[in-house]
Structure 1
Amino acid sequence: MPIIAAQGLTMRFPGVTALDDLTVAVEPGVTGLVGANGAGKSTLIKILLGLLPPTSGAAQVLGLDIARDGARIRERVGFMPEYEALPPDVSATEFVVHMARMSGLPPTAARERAADTLRHVGLYEERYRPIGGYSTGMRQRVKLAQALVHDPQLVFLDEPTNGLDPAGRDDMLGLIRRIGAEFGISVLVTSHLLGELERVCDHVVIIDGGRLLRSQAVEAYTAASGSLVVEVEEGRDRLGQRLHDQGVAVRPEGRLLVVDIADEETYDRIRDGVADLGLRLVRLEQRRHHIEEVFAVGSEQPHPVPQGAPR
């Protein structure tokens, strides 16, 4: 049974259509929601939380109707907003306990859950410091903790890696993987960095101008291509020239050679070339597609991704 199901969702503001007859179903697991700024991602999340009534259409979250059961949906769903909304003069413990109490947990259970959740997100040692003295990465972890503290069945994470350096992004992505794999909580995560979604998501939903562009398993996006990636320590150009002279389609790409697979003999030619030239082979693997390629394909469709979409 889908955890999210939308049927013909439309949301119109004066002069703007944020969602346009959107129909999509999301199964349990970690799902990425992709779209350019203004594509309707934040509007969709507000509607699914029962905070914003759509102009038309219907949707269900965890089997509950958004029009009638908004409060019950918010009891079972956690939300990590993109925007900064943390009080600077209270500690992470005080804030997360307060959010647990707001979700209906009694005082003792709220304190226990807050301590456990802050430990899970890596803030246990810093939990009594005022949030105002936290780094961007620590504040993002506080927002994640408050979304998880009431043990929801589903969490909405809106751009959780915003403002983080590469190490911070890796840490946050690791936490998202744990939420889905270890805690058994389904996740709907938005990001404009599509490579991040390839790393953590089971499924990706792409919307464009409020309409569904694609909904598909990540494995389908990232299927193996018809090319090989070859990396040698030195002698890239010599190997490339040899393969070219043998009629193999090859092109340099940074330190790599990208070789089109014509037949099984392509592998033999690469192996023999490396051996005959006395090169050290670092990597030989089949290239995989990336989610970004969907936007290049989508730009040729009747509803192109608008300028500024992530590529």
Structure 2
Amino acid sequence: MAVIETEALTKRYGDLEALVDLTVQVSTGVTGLVGANGAGKSTLLKILLGLLQPTSGSAAVLGHDIRRDGSSIRAVVGYMPEHDCLPPDVRAIDFIVHMGRVSGLPPAAARERAADVLRHVGLAEERYRLMGAYSTGMKQRAKLAQALVHDPRLVLLDEPTNGLDPEAREDMIALVARIGRDFGIPVLVTSHLLGELERVSDHVIVLDGGRLLRSQRTTELTQDTGVLLVEVLGSALEQRRVGEALAAAGLPCRPRQQLIEIDLRSTARGAAPHDVIRDTACDLGVGLVRLQPEHGRIQDVFQPEGRSGG
């Protein structure tokens, strides 16, 4: 079931095209909206919230029309903006309670929900501190908490890992996964770091210059490419000897930096590549470090061959 649907959605700022004829659906689970800075990700989120009007086209969020029902959409959607928006002289607990009240929760329910979401995002012990003293990671967690406090039916997260160190980024990605899988709330999360959403997203939408490059299940984007990567022990000379012997044995291969790349899709039917590689290395007295199937990556969509189908 689609929670977001767009049809030929376009947004122009004068001669600048931020979105161009975007037709896409977002279903339940975690959907990664990826692309470089300026790809149109934040523009799309603001249009879906009714904060920006599109130049043309249409979209619906949870069955609400974006042109007519902006306030209804914002009442049932949680939104975490990209940029810092937290009042520095306010305690986290007070801010989250206030956001719950603004969303329509009664006072007691707002206090209870605020305590719950601050615990879920890892700020239970820091909830009484002024947010101006928070680290970047803590501020991102507080922004996430305010997006969840009113128990939304959909969550839009704009660059939630922005400015975080690697450890904090991993923690934030784990929180995003928990929202979509443990809490059962559909999530649309943006990132310009194309690889970081592969592990958490069920579906990926790839934008480039406001245009749709790909909308596909993550497992399909990252499936086995049919290429086997071989690493041998020793110098470049040993790598070349093994590569030449594998080619003579009928395995199409070529060097790739310190690896040997074998295209299994071009291997003769009936051949057993792993046995051939093992026996060849043994015959040459060369040690094998690893045999690794290559899997696709989201960033591969941006390579020239990825553009041809976009």
- Aligned 8 A contact 2:195 2:298 in 1: yes
CA apart distance, 1:301: 4.2
Contact 1:239–1:274 (8 Å) recurs in 2: no
Pair 1:265–1:77, CA change in 2 (3 A): same
Aligned residues: 300
- Cα deviation for residue 116 of structure 1 reads 0.9
Deviation for aligned residue 1:53: 1.7
Residue 255 of structure 2 corresponds to which residue in structure 1? 251
Q: Secondary structure, in 3 states, of the residue corresponding to 1:89? A: coil
Q: Would the aligned equivalents of 1:123 and 1:141 in 2 still touch at CA under 8 Å?
A: yes
* Stretch deviating more after TM superposition (287-296 or 208-217): 208-217
For residue 291 of structure 1, the aligned residue among 258, 283, 298 is 298
Matched residue type, 1:265: A
Question: How big is the shift at 1:273?
Answer: 4.3
Name stretches of at least 5 consecutive residues in structure 2 with no aligned partner.
none
CA distance 1:239–1:32, change in 2 (3 Å)? same
1:130-160: CA deviation from partner (whole Å, max 9, x where unpaired): 1111111111111111111111111111111
Quote the Cα distance in structure 1 between the aligned partners of 2:277 and 2:189: 41
Q: TM-score, normalised by structure 2?
A: 0.89
Amino acid at match of 2:297: H
Number of the residue aligned with 2:136: 136
Partner secondary structure for residue 183 of structure 1: coil
Contact 1:21 1:211 in 2 (8 A): yes
Distance, in Å, in 1 between the alignment partners of 2:147 and 2:162 is 16
Equivalences for residues 89-108 of structure 1 within 5 A: 89-108=89-108
CA drift of 1:105 comes to 0.8
Asked if 1 retains the 8 angstrom alpha-carbon contact of 2:246 and 2:277, the reply is no
| Distance across 1 between alignment mates of 2:257 and 2:96 | 48
**Offset of residue 211 of structure 1:** 2.4
C-alpha distance in 1 between matches for 2:79 and 2:44: 13
Shift of 1:33: 1.1
Contact kept? 2:32, 2:188, Cα under 8 Å: yes
1:47 CA displacement: 1.0
Provide TM-score, normalisation by structure 1. 0.89
For the residue of structure 2 that corresponds to 1:195, the secondary structure is coil
Matched residues, percent identical? 58
8 Å Cα contact 2:230/2:291 also seen in 1: yes
Q: Compared with structure 1, are the counterparts of its residues 224 and 92 closer, same or farther at alpha carbon in structure 2 (3 Å cutoff)? A: same
Residue 121 of structure 1 deviates from its aligned partner by 0.8
Q: Using the alignment, how far apart are the partners of 2:159 and 2:246 within structure 1?
A: 48
CA distance in 2, matches of 1:150, 1:271: 59
Contact conserved, 1:6 with 1:23, CA < 8 A, in 2?
Answer: yes
List aligned pairs for 1:1-311, cutoff 5 A: 1-231=1-231, 234-235=233-234, 237=236, 238=238, 241-247=241-247, 248=251, 249-254=253-258, 256-261=259-264, 262-263=267-268, 264-273=271-280, 275=282, 277=285, 279=287, 281=289, 283-297=290-304, 301=308
Any unmatched runs of 5+ in structure 1?
304-311
Distance 1:300 1:104 in 2: 46
How many angstroms does 1:112 deviate by? Answer: 0.9
TM-superposed CA distance for 1:41, in Å, is 1.5
Q: Secondary structure at the match of 1:162?
A: coil
Counterpart CA distance in 2 for 1:10 and 1:213 is 15
Question: For residues 174 and 257 of structure 1, what CA distance do their matches in structure 2 show?
Answer: 34
- Most deviating of 141-150 and 258-267: 258-267
1:52 Cα deviation from its structure 2 partner: 1.5
Aligned-residue Cα RMSD (Å) equals: 2.2
Change in 2 beyond 3 A, CA 1:242/1:35: closer
